[in-house]
Amino acid sequence: MPENRAVSVSEAVACAKRALEGVRLRVVGEVSEFADKPGYRAAYFTVSDGSAAMSCLMWREQYEASGVVLRCGMLVEMAGHFSAYAAKGRMQFVVRSLSLAGEGRLRLQVAELARRLEAEGLMHPERKRALPAYPGRIGVVTSPRGKAVHDVLRTLRRRYPLAEILLAGVPVEGVEAPSAIAEGLDVVAAAHSDVVLLVRGGGSYEDLMPFNNEQVARAIVACPVPVVTGIGHEPDTSIADMVADVRASTPTAAAESVAPSVEELGATLHKMRRMLGRALQHRVQAAEHRLGLLVRRPVFTDCSVLVGPAAQALDQAGIALRRSLPERLQRDAESLYRLSGDLERIGSRMLPPVHDRVERLGWDLGRAAMQLMGRAGDSVGHTAARLHDLSPVAILGRGYAVCRTADAGSVIRSATQVSLGDRVNVLLGEGSLGCVVESTEKEKHDG
């Protein structure tokens, strides 16, 4: 186009647009403005670096395909070319590809981890544990060279010097920091700490990334004692803060949360002492008043109140007894007299017949006894004679003898039971003989 010829505005803008579209760049910037309304065919936003700003657009299909949801403050990396919007005469950068850059990428990763841990329930309030009121041993996991450790130790010495402090010095930055922090938590917990402080001073988002590590988060959850975090400054919130039992804004605030103030503790004890004294005083006064009421009761001042009713009842019983005995004896005497008369009348009618019957029964019993004794005597005589006939003694008396072995005393019934020279005893009707077998002879007797 000749330089000395005047052109229209449209031609000028078109010329500029052709020139700009040839400039293709990769740009890094922070999103300062963003507009994505329903119905728009493109997403419009502005990026800047603090010194300059650049208007951008990205067509809807490409924006949704990038997977990035733009928000103000994000650091993004874009690839595209410049162009010009002729209707407004405005330059803009047409974005072809978009991704998070630097801290923006890190924040996206942290957000994804936070959502996953939240889904597992590691951040639920029901899982969080209460802090001990008066810990005897406090574990501190932090860098031994940072400002945070001095703030924590100074606060604990000032507020609660009674506690024993266990310090696990670990790196809080760099690739080795997550493993070291997890190991430090295990060490102070194994040393029987009552509570653990996980702290560090302020820093950039990248500096605080070890506390957004999944290994550190799970070590906090697995710690057997409550964990209090004080990481960075007030606005900083890490995943470690989210899963900790208590999150403090700073290391100093974390130390204050676990250490009761000695002054406050003394004031509390003094207040409790006064309350206990008043309670005991009221208790004694109430007991004294109750005792006074008991002492003034009539039962303790006049014994007749206690024994009077019983004595009066005894008198009444005596009067009733004296009145009832003569009458009862008189009635019993009259009844006895009537009964004795009835008995005499009954006896006079029954004794003569009974006497005659008893006499007859006595005679009958005597006769029956004589007859029974006679029959019994005859039976006993017959039985005695029979026993005498069967007695071995009677048999021996008729000249028979019983031969027994000398050693066992067994009766010898056959000549085969002895041998020549054996000693035998012979039982006679009167006395016995000791004999020696000189001969044997077998003889069969016909029965």
Domain co-membership, 143 together with 225: yes
- Choosing from 231, 260, 289, the residue where a domain stops is 260
Q: How many domains, in total, are found in the chain?
A: 4
Domain co-membership, 255 together with 266: no
pTM beyond 0.85, yes or no? no
Domain co-membership, 278 together with 160: no
- What is the distance between the alpha carbons of residues 355 and 346, in angstroms, rounded to a whole number? 14
Strands laid side by side in the 227-231 sheet = 164-169, 137-142, 195-200, 227-231, 246-248
- Choosing from 57, 76, 101, the residue where a domain stops is 101
Q: Quick one: 194 exposed, middle or buried, by C-beta within 10 A (0-12, 13-18, 19+)?
A: middle
Q: Mind listing the pLDDT tens digit for each residue in 370-415?
A: 888 878 777 777 777 777 766 676 776 777 788 888 776 788 888 8
Domain co-membership, 231 together with 278: no
Domain co-membership, 272 together with 251: no
Domain co-membership, 267 together with 256: no
Question: Per DSSP, what are the bridge partners of residue 197?
Answer: 140, 228
- What is the distance between the alpha carbons of residues 199 and 420, in angstroms, rounded to a whole number? 125
Give the pLDDT mean for 217-230: 95
Q: Mind listing the pLDDT tens digit for each residue in 152-190?
A: 999 999 998 889 999 999 999 888 999 999 999 999 999
Judge whether 228 and 197 are in contact, CB under 8 Å: yes
Domain co-membership, 224 together with 282: no
Domain co-membership, 266 together with 256: no
DSSP 381: H
Judge whether 27 and 58 are in contact, CB under 8 Å: no
Report yes or no on 323 lying in a domain. Answer: no
Domain co-membership, 268 together with 204: no
Q: Residue 36: give its domain's CATH number.
A: 2.40.50.140
- Choosing from 299, 320, 351, the residue where a domain stops is 299
- What is the distance between the alpha carbons of residues 416 and 414, in angstroms, rounded to a whole number? 5
Give the pLDDT mean for 10-21: 81
The answer, yes or no, to whether residue 447 has pLDDT greater than 50, is no
Report yes or no on 120 lying in a domain. Answer: no
Judge whether 114 and 139 are in contact, CB under 8 Å: no
Domain co-membership, 69 together with 147: no
Report yes or no on 390 lying in a domain. Answer: no
Banded pLDDT at 4 (limits 50, 70, 90): low
| pLDDT value, residue 243 | 93
Better-predicted residue by pLDDT, 64 or 369 = 64
Domain limits for position 205: 134-260
What's the whole-number average pLDDT of the chain?
84
Report yes or no on 307 lying in a domain. Answer: no
Going along 329-431, which residue ranges are E strands?
A: 402-405, 423-427
- What is the distance between the alpha carbons of residues 419 and 200, in angstroms, rounded to a whole number? 125
